[in-house]
Structure 1
Amino acid sequence: MEPIFLPKTWSLFKKGLLTKNITNDIFAGIIVGIVALPLAIAFAVASGVSPEKGIITAVVAGFIISLLGGSRVQIGGPTGAFIVIVYGILQKYGFDGLIISTIMAGIMLITFGLLRLGSILKFFPHPLIVGFTSGIALVIFSTQIKDAMGLPIDKLPAEFVAKWEIYFHQMQNFNLSAVLITIGTIIITVFSGRLIPKVPGSFIAIIVMTAIVAVFGLQVNTIESVFGSIPNKFAITIPSIHFDQLGQYMQPALTIALLGAIESLLSAVVADGMIGSNHRSNTELIAQGVANIVTPFFGGIPATGAIARTATNVKNNGRTPIAGIIHAVTLLLIMLVFGKWALLIPMPCLAGILIVVSYNMSEMKSFYSILKGHKYDIFILLSTFILTVFVDLTVAIEVGVVLSSLLFMQRMSNLSKVIPLETESDTLENYADIPKGVEIFEISGPFFFAAARRYEETLKDISHTSKVVIIRMRHVPFIDGTGLRNLKATIKDLKSRRIQIILSGVQPEVFEELEKGGVPALIGPNNIVPTFDLALARMGMILQKQA
């Protein structure tokens, strides 16, 4: 059983592996620190707090998450997903309310870890996650129109529709310089990687656009004109706590805790797939909790694992928590030494960076893919998306989870008890004569969101010496969007290891969903067969070709 709390830092230190990759980890940490700088500032500004609070969060939370976390390569800090939540809490409760909510969320996250709820991710189906992620992306985009176009608006309402009403009334008052800076930022951020792959596009955009504004004296808002000076030191912040009012912070705290848990575990799972490792989910939740308890006392905002920065860490050969620690130290040095120059950054430039972030968050391909799937997955996706945009993220998650459970029960109750003859006759239980290099797995029961992760983990543990894997699906009555996504991820992983997959005994309804998801094209239509006998025949042909 996975230990409740065992940081990867400690495990690697005991094995003597913590400094084995230290040169690459230091280099990766510096690169990620540079990547994190414009994002930390942009996320803070978009959330309604001053820029240094984003950097403080990346420094303090990033250090703690790397030091105590359950992932080798997780990078923690402020993320785009929290923009909507933080902005809403500030509007309703003020900065003290945000601090209290974040600390309470940290306590909840530690509790999740101590109760071994690290597997919580599997109870959130893929359409639900895509729904609220895409919804958050749209809301983030909508918050950036003011700065992107230089509109003369003093204060934006939190509601999505109300924002756009104001935008349409003010659209004719746009600032051409601001629009051009935004467009230039987007172009540099997206395309500069082709020319200078080792330097983050957002960092280049900030330098170029800040220089253009300074040299040509363009009349646009800058960080200094909006927020004044940026402190280059840390200060302890103690909120005014009234214990009789703590109940009102339960909902925002739960929202922060749930989103923090989901995003950090998602990021850790993505990282596992990139480096072939396994994170400790309960340890990761506890580390996230500690980070969210400590960071607010330094004036920081909610933090979690950041998928983009974690992926950047991995791509630059970061392999231990040393990289995450160096990333935090790099940001600290930048804040202490170069903080005064950050005042010159134009607000349209930050808006351009966040527009790119919102596009990357939108998961448009996944959204479109789910829309081609089963009606239940489509319903969960659209419900969660609409609630996230027009109501509230907490409501979206709560309703999405309940809907997923109810629709699963409905789907199960509609299943026929009668098993087709050809499926029932597909019964060979003695695998003694199966040749070496062939592995057989059987999936029994619905391939749905609560079981999909377990199936994926089991199948990914297949030996690298295997040549063919037969997956028997005769007792799978249906597959949902999460199951389909995880199956495709497993197939891609096995194919990258030159292992051929054969699906046996696939029922008509399941095959229909596999076809919509492009699985036949992925493994070859000849490798999906109705009976185990045909699977064995196909296996023989494959082994003969490989001989």
Structure 2
Amino acid sequence: MAVTSARNGSSYGCSHYHYKYFNFPVDTIDSRFGGIPSAIPSFEWIPVSWDSAQYMVTPAITLALLGAIEFLLCARIADGLIHDRHDSNQELMTQGVANCTVPFFGGMPATGTIARTVTNIESGATTPVSGIVHAATLLIIVLFGAPLAKNIPLASLAAILMYVAWNMGEWKKFVDLKQFRLPYRITILSVFILTVALDLTIAVEVGLLLAFITLIYRISSLSRCELALPSDFPGLHNQQGRIDAYRIHGAIFFGAVKLLEKIEANLPTQTLLLDLKNVIYVDTSGMDTIMELAHLCKILNIRLIICGLAHQPLEMAERSDFISTLPQDAFHPDLASGIAAATF
């Protein structure tokens, strides 16, 4: 179909074209963005003052965090494609040095992009040399091909991007979603829809929020508290109501402190034993709840024995001075020795 210039009617005389019969505008790189610079930007010092810098702290931190997340996400996807493992510290240091340098040459903060990385790998790239070749190719285009590249229609670039996006999408993963739980499916579909409809940055933010909520829910649902049975520990025979022992599994954090609150409502009359051997994590909220339980036992003259306190829970107990609030004989390495001390 014939096309004519929108300015002087001559064929292919400028960078903004219209279809002759339908009068459709055809934007090019030149008409939309003013062309491509054909020279390397020169160094220019950026004047910085406190009046301007104080308004940039929050946006800078936000960009740094989102940039790091996107960069590591890109590296993780590349790992899966080439079956390798990246060095996160090296990747982040490289991005940080680059983003601290380019503003002095008129550049903007950037991260590793998934589209170009996947395209590079699909073309056979397996080492960092491919990134150097990619940058050198762009440099050659800028220095020597800018007068020609500026006339490239944006529609053709859009078609290339759609082709790349279609090939980089692992569409069979949507079929595999049926084997996962509903929260995971909601997270994956939300990130996908928001990436396409809005922006990757918003999708990452929402995805992280949903992932945090899902993680908290899963950990709290896996944490449980069980009353030790006389069949497992003969020392508890005929001691129910006087000496009670509870075995806690999972994590004691703000999402699972109700486990200990239930114990407070059913305290024994003489001795309470807590087996923390299978507790993998205790946060400040969980430790505060344990200390409140210990304080309540002290008021009611109930002996409290802690069993199996080790690793991170032990470190948290030491940092919160919880250990100093109880006598030395209140701590035992396992539940069996704690029951023996309680019934002695």
Q: TM-score, normalised by structure 1?
A: 0.32
Q: Larger radius of gyration, structure 1 or 2?
A: 2
Identify the structure with the greater helix proportion: 1
Q: Which has the higher contact order (CA 8 A, sep 6+)?
A: 1
Identify the structure with the greater strand proportion: 2
